[in-house]
């Protein structure tokens, strides 16, 4: 029996995609083996990766002057690779709005001196407990910076922000960690210099990292950068300087086809907004539960919440699991609960969670 899986990642994948994988695993399109048992440079896998890239370009309307890279190492490796590729001995601004942008900033601080460059903290919402996006007047931006780094959906704190005009005013390229909401709604790729995301939430299985980068920004890699971490070298080699994560790319390609079949990202946005509204309304309806994020900045993807009486936490998790609602425990850094409701979570899953939340509150209030 499949359960409703609220894990932040690796997360639920669309059931039709998993069915296709199961069907195709012994014999992909009549070739007598699976697609993960053939050369990544052969005809069959070349078709798979080319179609995946074309479908992704279509879903996000990615312009031709942006490269699409299928990489490994997770979003975490990009915390180092991005300064290696973009810093060029200059300075970069980092805005910290939660645990993930903090980690990116700490890594950039560590590596910048090695690269002969600098990083600055251009704004932080830590004093609010990471419950909102920064206000324009809280940002101190360097117009000469090589890039400004943000995380547009903080998976742990549940803050999502795409109102980035204040950051873009000076024309400094914006670099965004979109690991936990890429493909959940339309975005205008042109507003960004580089977008990156680990795949294991909305894109596909773990092991794949997507980078979408404006080609002119690949011109200044630090010369000590290992070739597989160089965006320019990977772009020149079709993401195949070495063996790419073929299984993850294949499944991600199926996810792109699934998204297209449902009407693309505008349709996903409608579904995701409606699912999130249902859940936040339920949480706000009773003091039994609480989500601390300012409503305007609440994530459609990751919904952290706490019980007013935290002595009930264990009981809550046990009963939820018994009801087929799994992995609701919050990240250890913040505690409490978290429901991740990515693209593959059906509305029925959120409805089942809401019914459980109401019932649990009624029984324990
Ligand atoms: N950035 C964000 C926003 C994340 O949610 C995560 C993982 O959950 C990461 C970065 C790290 O990704 P990875 O584990 O793929 O390195």
210 membership: H or E segment, kind and range = strand 209-214
129 membership: H or E segment, kind and range = none
Residue 124 Cα to ligand 1 middle (Å):
19
At 170 the pLDDT is 86
Q: Which residue has the CA at smallest separation from atom 10 of ligand 1?
A: 75
Catalytic site positions: 100, 177, 201
At 337 the pLDDT is 98
Q: Which residue has the CA at smallest separation from atom 12 of ligand 1?
A: 75
Residue 22 Cα to ligand 1 middle (Å):
27
Among 75, 177, 181, 334, the mutation site with the greatest number of ligand 1 atoms within 8 A of its Cβ is: 75
Confidence of residue 365 (pLDDT cuts 50, 70, 90): confident
Annotated binding site: 41, 75-76, 100, 155, 177, 200, 242-243
Per the prediction, the chain carries an average pLDDT of: 97
pTM: 0.98
């409608």: which residue's tokens? 270
Q: Which residue has the CA at smallest separation from atom 5 of ligand 1?
A: 155
Tell me: cis bond preceding 347? Omega within 30 of 0 counts. Answer: no
Q: Which domains does the chain have, with CATH numbers?
A: 15-261 (3.40.640.10), 263-364 (3.90.1150.10)
Average pLDDT over residues 108-134: 97
Q: Residue 245 and residue 36: Cα distance in Å, rounded?
A: 9
Annotated binding site for pyridoxal 5'-phosphate: 75-76, 100, 155, 177, 200, 242-243
At 318 the pLDDT is 98
Residue 125 Cα to ligand 1 middle (Å):
19
At 26 the pLDDT is 95
Average pLDDT over residues 106-110: 98
Residue 259 Cα to ligand 1 middle (Å):
22
The ligand 1 atom nearest the CA atom of 154: 3
> Between vectors from CA 113 to CA 110 and to CA 119, what angle results, nearest 5°?
70
Is the predicted pLDDT of residue 199 greater than 90, yes or no? yes
Annotated binding site for L-glutamate: 41
Q: What is the ipTM of this complex?
A: 0.99
Are β-strands 302-307 and 289-290 bridged in parallel, bridged antiparallel, or unpaired? Answer: antiparallel
Q: Residue 300 and residue 178: Cα distance in Å, rounded?
A: 13
At 119 the pLDDT is 98
Residue 26's CB is within 10 A of a number of other CB atoms, namely: 10
């Amino acid at each position: 029996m499949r359960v409703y899986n609220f894990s932040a990642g690796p997360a639920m994948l669309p059931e039709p995609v998993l069915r296709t994988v199961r069907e195709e695993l012994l014999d992909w399109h009549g070739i007598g083996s699976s697609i993960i048992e053939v050369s990544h440079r052969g005809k069959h896998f070349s078709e798979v990766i080319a179609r995946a890239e074309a479908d992704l370009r279509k879903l996000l309307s990615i312009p031709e002057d942006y490269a699409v890279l299928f990489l490994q190492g997770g979003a975490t490796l990009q915390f180092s690779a991005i300064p290696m590729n973009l810093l060029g001995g200059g300075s970069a601004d980092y805005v910290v709005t939660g645990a993930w942008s903090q980690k990116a900033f700490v890594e950039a601080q560590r590596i910048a001196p090695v690269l002969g460059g600098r990083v600055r903290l251009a704004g932080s919402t830590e004093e609010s407990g990471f419950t909102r996006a920064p206000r324009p007047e809280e940002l101190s931006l360097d117009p000469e910076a090589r890039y400004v780094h943000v995380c547009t959906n903080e998976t742990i704190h549940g803050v999502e922000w795409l109102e980035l005009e204040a950051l873009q005013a000076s024309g400094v390229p914006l670099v965004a960690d979109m690991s936990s909401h890429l493909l959940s709604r339309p975005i205008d790729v042109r507003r960004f210099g580089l977008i990156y995301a680990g795949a294991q939430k909305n894109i596909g299985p773990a092991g794949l990292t997507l980078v979408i980068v404006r080609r002119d920004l690949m011109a200044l890699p630090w010369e000590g950068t290992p070739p597989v971490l160089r965006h320019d070298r990977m772009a020149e080699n079709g993401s195949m300087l070495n063996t790419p994560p073929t299984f993850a790319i294949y499944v991600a390609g199926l996810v792109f086809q699934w998204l297209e079949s449902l009407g693309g990202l505008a349709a996903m946005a409608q579904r995701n907004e409606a699912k999130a509204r249902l859940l936040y309304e339920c949480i706000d309806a009773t003091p039994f539960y609480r989500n601390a994020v300012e409503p305007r900045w609440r994530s459609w993807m990751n919904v952290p919440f706490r019980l007013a009486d935290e002595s009930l936490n264990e009981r809550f998790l046990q009963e939820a699991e018994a009801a087929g609602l799994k992995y609701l425990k919050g990240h250890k850094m913040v505690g409490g609960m978290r429901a991740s409701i990515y693209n593959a979570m059906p509305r029925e899953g959120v409805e089942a969670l809401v019914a459980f939340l109401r019932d649990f509150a009624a029984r324990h209030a």
